Amino acid sequence: MATLHFVPSAFSLPKQKQPTKLSSVFKLRPTTQLGCSQRRLVVRSYKVVIEHEGQTTELEVDADESILDSALDKGLDIPHDCKLGVCMTCPARLVSGAVDQSEGMLSDDVVEKGYSLLCVAYPRSDCHIQTIPEEELLALQLATAND
């Protein structure tokens, strides 16, 4: 189930994690409280279920936060390295739902088969994700590179 959070504008979101779709973040009109003008952002969040090393964990992930960052904040020990979508050490298979991973380097064929890199995967709906061995994704990525 999607949840909305109100975030005061005094807190700025990291620029590299800005959502790529405007439907994920909505700006509201300025409001006046005690003579001060404030702006508020509504940031949407999604329920993300991650299966990792035989355990299932449910996270609430904001649309502008990578699934990997949220999982690490929750204490999950998910392998990762570059956090740029290049090294392929945080692979996963999307069982259900939708993510935006346009910042990653996976081929379109691999993405269409439901694979993703958690460091550049931003939820666009409630999702169910399974982490997979790095070798599984590397083999698939290399196989599609030859096509």
Look up the CATH number of the domain holding residue 132.
Answer: 3.10.20.30
Res 37: pLDDT? 54
Asked whether residue 12 is assigned to any structural domain, the reply reads: no
- For 27-42, write each residue's pLDDT tens digit: 444 445 555 556 666 7
Asked whether residue 4 is assigned to any structural domain, the reply reads: no
Indicate whether 90 pLDDT > 70.
Answer: yes
CB hemisphere CA count around 78 (13 angstroms) = 32
Domain that holds residue 130: 45-145
Res 28: pLDDT? 47
Asked whether residue 102 is assigned to any structural domain, the reply reads: yes
Q: How many CB atoms lie within 10 A of CB 123?
A: 29
pTM of the model: 0.70
Determine contact, residues 26/2, Cβ cutoff 8 Å: no
Domain count, the chain: 1
Interatomic CA distance for residues 136 and 36, integer angstroms: 55
Res 20: pLDDT? 52
Res 141: pLDDT? 85
Residue predicted with more confidence, 76 or 9: 76
Asked whether residue 25 is assigned to any structural domain, the reply reads: no
